[in-house]
């Protein structure tokens, strides 16, 4: 793992954006793995700025998102599809047909999970996966206890994740209980990963992920097995390293 500590979330997000931009310039048909949540927002804003002012071209890029809440239609304001449309896709020239977010309305999740993985493989695999991290150290929706070899599947959200996400749904009761998520094993197959974490509430999860034992209780720690991970932090999230 290569750990980069920047002075602020802005600086860290710019650093991440420059890695994404470098890839897209070198490989216009890059396959990006994208994440939702508050953490990557500044990265997406920087990519939009680079598109608008430097002509960064997304026209041949394909994307796969990590996860989606079960039961939410793509039009739901809290669905991850809606998040991606509003915070990135509609501001850049990506072909929306080449963007993939797991379908929270699939009927048969076992089949759907395999299909999502097959789509990733047919596209050539993910070149660069963007990741955030939960306070309990989870990546995507691979909650504590997820198998480190897991594939795209249905997952029950942990109580801590439900509490953390209640702010988006008005109440804990409003948060979906299930999500479809790429597995830890799926994520580890990406050619490169960028893990972003900002703020002191992520410090413990980052210490466990970067320096702790590899454990299914902190699924981010599985990234220690990956050969090309860049961890981009601010001083607060790095404070327990
Ligand atoms: C959810 C998402 C994760 C994200 C995490 C942290 O659990 N499934 O992909 O990393 O929240 O979110 P935030 O960046 O808002 O702290």
pLDDT of 127-186, one tens digit each?
Answer: 999 999 999 999 999 999 999 999 999 999 999 999 999 999 999 999 999 999 999 999
The reported pLDDT for the residue numbered 80 is 97
Domains for the chain: give ranges and CATH numbers. Answer: 10-128+138-191 (3.40.50.1360)
| DSSP letter, residue 54 | H
Tell whether the model's pLDDT for residue 75 goes beyond 90. yes
What spacing in Å lies between the alpha carbon of 188 and ligand 1's midpoint?
A: 18
* Polymer length of the chain: 241
The question of whether 127 is a catalytic residue gets the answer no
Residue 145 Rama label (left phi>0; alpha psi -120 to 50; beta): left
The question of whether 100 is a catalytic residue gets the answer no
Q: For the chain, what is the mean pLDDT?
A: 97
Higher-scoring residue by pLDDT: 107, 113:
113
205 lines ligand 1 (CB under 6 A): no
* Confidence class for position 54, pLDDT limits 50, 70, 90: very high
Out of 46, 117, 127, 143, pick the active-site residue. 143
141 lines ligand 1 (CB under 6 A): yes
Sheet containing 67-69: order of strands? 67-69, 178-181, 153-156
140 lines ligand 1 (CB under 6 A): yes
Does the pTM surpass 0.80? The reply is yes
Tell whether the model's pLDDT for residue 107 goes beyond 90. no
């Amino acid at each position: 793992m290569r750990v980069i500590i920047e002075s602020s979330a802005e600086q860290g997000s710019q650093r991440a954006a420059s890695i994404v931009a470098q890839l897209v310039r070198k490989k216009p048909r890059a396959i990006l793995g994208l994440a939702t949540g508050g953490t990557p927002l500044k990265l997406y804003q920087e990519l939009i700025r680079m598109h608008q002012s430097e002509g960064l071209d997304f026209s041949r890029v394909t994307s796969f998102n990590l996860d989606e809440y079960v039961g939410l239609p793509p039009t739901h304001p809290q669905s991850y599809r809606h998040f991606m449309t509003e915070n990135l896709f509609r501001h850049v020239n990506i072909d929306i047909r080449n963007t993939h977010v797991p379908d929270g309305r699939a009927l048969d999740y076992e089949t759907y999970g395999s299909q999502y993985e097959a789509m990733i493989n047919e596209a050539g695999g993910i070149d660069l996966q963007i990741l955030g991290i939960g306070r309990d150290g989870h990546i995507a929706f691979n909650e504590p206890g997820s198998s480190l070899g897991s594939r795209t599947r249905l997952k029950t959200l942990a109580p801590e994740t439900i509490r953390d996400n209640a702010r988006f749904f008005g109440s804990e009761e409003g948060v979906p209980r299930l999500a479809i998520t790429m597995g830890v094993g799926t994520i580890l197959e990406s050619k490169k990963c960028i893990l972003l974490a900002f703020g002191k509430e992520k410090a413990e999860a980052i210490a466990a992920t970067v320096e702790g034992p590899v454990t299914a209780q902190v699924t981010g720690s599985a990234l220690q097995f990956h050969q090309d991970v860049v961890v981009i932090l601010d001083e607060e999230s790095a404070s327990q390293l």
